[in-house]
Structure 1
Amino acid sequence: MRKITRRSFLTAAAACGAAAALSACGGSSSASSAAASSTVASASVAAASNGEKFTVGICQLVQHAALDAATQGFEDALTASFGENVTFDFQNAQGDSATCATIANGFVSSGVALIMANATPALQAAQAATNTIPILGTSVTEYGVALGLDNFSGTVGGNVSGTSDLAPLDQQADMIVEWMPEVKKVGLLYCSAEANSQYQVDEVQKYLEAKGVTATQYAFSDSNDLSSVCQKAADENDALYVPTDNTVAANTGIVDGICRPAKKPVFAGEEGICSGCGVATLSISYYDLGYTTGEMAVKILNGESDISTMPIEYTDVTKKYNKAVCDDLGLTVPEGYVEIEA
């Protein structure tokens, strides 16, 4: 457990172990533990509104720039409202969904006031661990897919809400064609262990094919086979697209080491991946996304909002490009794109 501090690793994407295969979302914890956690959580929320100290649990799937920024934004928003009265129990699952479950169950046992789940496997683990403690997800693309919800209409209900990092996928497809009007074949590279990555490539494939572009999916199971799958995708296509995929985000050097020498542009679903191996992206600010999640947490902890009625929130996207990669590939940047800061 730690008091809030500003961590120094915000801008560096670390090479971490890949995300393990996602387990199916389960139900809640036992009735006795749920009742106990409900009592503790309710007391903590009341304490928050009275200016007393309380603890928020943060489960982050893996360390890389985007998720780090979201966590920092979340912490900053809570600190802006509660100052030293908030303590964060921050835990990194090192890319392992089973570890996410262990962390979430630990938060339930310790009776944290609220859980912030950073990335889809963390959200799934938290949802399976408790149906009483408020859970806010962030860096989650599509909540209906992540939680197996039928007819999802924008509000999860129960004890879950949060923010989405989904950029308009039709515009992602438009971006690729804007940069490469003559493109014929695009490889869609993603980790099969990440449900939201599958959703994104399915949608982008649909939009690209509607434009007459052949789009082929290239799935890898973890970082151990990323290199071989990426090489195959680069060999067989004019360009690659990578969604907001946590495994790629933690291993952009592998993709860059294959695609840049081969002169194969990579288009990315978010800025962190683009800065590591991409040409261009329609990206959100993960710091802003996390900050918005923190503002939601403040409303919940102050008793101003009922999480069961809070819809998933989104943020605006910005067109960005990686100057170093564009220069190496001799690409002309279309109007309206902002250079990613080094």
Structure 2
Amino acid sequence: MSNYIKYNDKIAFHPGYYISEAIEESGLTQYDFARRLDTTPKNISCLVNGEQNLSTDIAMKLARMLDTSVEYWLNLQSAYDTVSAEIKSEEALEEERRVFAYLDYKYFQSYYGLPSLPRKIDCQIKQVRKFLKVATLSVFKERNMAVNFRSSTDKLSEANIVKANIMVQIATNQALNNPAPKFDRSRFNKTVDYALTLTGKHQEFYRLLKKAFYDAGVNFVILPNMPGSKINGATKKIKNNVMLMVNDRRLNADTFWFTLFHEIGHIINGDMGITFEGKEYHAEDEADIFAENKLIPEDAYHQFLSENDHHFTLQNVLHFARLIDRDPGIVLGRLQNDGKIKYGDYRFASLQKKYKIM
């Protein structure tokens, strides 16, 4: 370790640098100098190499031995600490700028009202940092920063990780601003069944569902997609309640309800975390099965497939949807996902509903 640090046009000398000069001028070895100073050779070695701060005790001994003032030595330490802190701050800002380059400031400006600051990168960073309530944007580089990543993260770039963490941070902050009652598992299970009755109420389901979840201790948040986050949804325990977030990246009725019930499955299983595209985690399979069977009862679905001999029309899809009291878009989405109906089949275009939440 060096007894000085240099960064751009700044340089800071550790008190050990001046102690080293004093030893050289004295003609003594470090060992003899340490003995005369009434300290250990190891202590002097650490100071000379800049490996530890100068204590008040050593400053007083140096002042007596070298006929200087205690303030002289303590001021050297203070000056070093100040410049060192400034250098570390600049280094941290450089790293923060690198992380910020992954983001599009217009996202925060458009959806969350941050001020327009064209070409003022450091000012933009300050605004985003303040909005997210963190000391530095660099914290978002850490995998599993706030919640468990529910899939293999090997295929996630640092940019993906940063954006995913930021989306969870936004949802968490929103939940903290509107704390829900204590999570009530029994009430939540009833709310899940209630949610199934809302799939066809395209204009009012969100308001009704948000209120019902809130009363059960679950803060339901839908966020505008941040391109590159690769998030489908996330859940997080916040004190004694739960945050449930889904991304509006794919707000077709069928994908919305599937994503929602997938996350509900995680809450029921006590598996909090982030769900990404491309699932490689057993809990994701469990949540998928839960969502599939809740949205379309398994026995009823297989009977429907059997009765229609895998030949599907608009009429029989509508009939089955009415039979199980689900939005027909959910049935269509399941059939498309299972390869029973091709995506883009114009005969079923009327069943597809696009939600707009934000």
Class of the TM-score when normalised by the shorter of the 2 chains: under 0.3
Counting strand residues as a fraction of each chain, which structure ranks higher? 1
What TM-score results when the alignment is normalised by the length of structure 1? 0.26
For the pair shown, the structure with the greater C-alpha radius of gyration is: 2
Counting helix residues as a fraction of each chain, which structure ranks higher? 2
Q: Which has the higher contact order (CA 8 A, sep 6+)?
A: 1
